[in-house]
Structure 1
Amino acid sequence: MEREKTARSRGVKNTAFTFWDLQEDVAGAVSGHFVPVWVGKRSQKISNNQRETHIMGEFTCDNSSCSKKGWVSGHVAIVIRGYPDNGYNTTVYNQRCITCKRLGDLNIDKGCYVERVAYWLKTWARVKMVRQVYEKKRTPPHLSELCEGCKQGRCTQSL
C-alpha cells in the first residue's frame, strides 16, 4: 500500500482534510479523458454530484501518555463532490484514538485516494470503464463513535 500523504496541521488537530495538493495525481489518473479542476471550499459553485465512500489510511496518536501509538483503518470516510465543467473537491474525515479519544494524525493511502476520486470523476463524466473488483481486506471493525465522518453524517457506516 502506498501511504505517503500525511495530513499535518499546525498545532491544532483537524476533524477533516481536503488533500487539494493531490490534484496533479488525480489529473494524471483521468488524463486522456478530461482535465479535472479543484474547486475550493469557499467557492460559490453548487455541486451536481456527491459520493460518500471510504479510503484506507493509518493513524498515529501523538499523546505521549497514551498506550496506543497507532492504528490502521480500511474505512476512512471521504466525500467526493463533483461540479459542472469537471470541477471537484474532497473532504477526508479524521478518526479518534480508541484509548485517549484524541484526534489522530492521518496518513492516507495515496494510491487508494487517487483511484477512488478518479473513479467517481470518470463515472460522472460518463467515461466507460471496467469495474474493478477488490478483495476485501481484513481491518479492525469500524467504530462510529471515533469517526468524525460518522459524527457529521458523512460516513457510509453511519448512513
Structure 2
Amino acid sequence: MLLTRQAQIAVAILVACARQDGRFVQTHEAAAGSGATKEHAAKVAHLLRNSGFVTSARGRFGGIKLARPAGSISLGAVLRHMQPNLTPSPRNRSRELTTLDTVVESGWLSFVALMDRFTIADLVAGRSPQRAACSDCRLLSPRTLSPDAVSSLQ
C-alpha cells in the first residue's frame, strides 16, 4: 500500500510536534525529518490545522503544536484526511462492481482499520507492532510473537 508524499509529511509533522511535548515548533523544523521543502510542509501543516490535528500561532514564538494528545490521533484518521482516495467512494457508481473491485475495496478498508490501531504516540515511543495482529498472524515477524504463537503457525 502506497502512501502519498503528503500523507508521509503529515505523519512526520505530527510526530515532530508530539516530541515537543506541547510546545510550538516551526513548520519547517517539524517537517525536516521528512525531507520536505518549507513550502510543501506549510501546505501540509495548513491541511492538518484545518482537519483539527494541530493548532497554530503567529509571531516570533509561534508555530504549530498538536491540538490534542498524541495518543488520541490515530494513523487511520490522519490518512483519511490526508489521502481521501484511500477509502472507497460511496456506492452510487454508474457501473456494477466486479469481484476484483470488491476484493480491492476490502483490502483498502482492512488497511485503514489496521492503521486505526496505531497512534502518533506509538510512533514517538517506537513501540513494536504487536497490535498489528490480525487474521493472518504470519504478517508479524517471529520476534514479535510468543514462542507458542510461532509454533502454532508452523
- Please say whether Structure 1 and Structure 2 have the same fold, judged by a TM-score greater than 0.5: no
Q: Which has the larger radius of gyration?
A: 2
Which structure ranks higher in relative contact order (CA pairs < 8 Å, sequence separation ≥ 6)? 1
Higher helix share: 2
Report the TM-score, using the length of structure 1 for normalisation.
0.29
More strand by share: 1
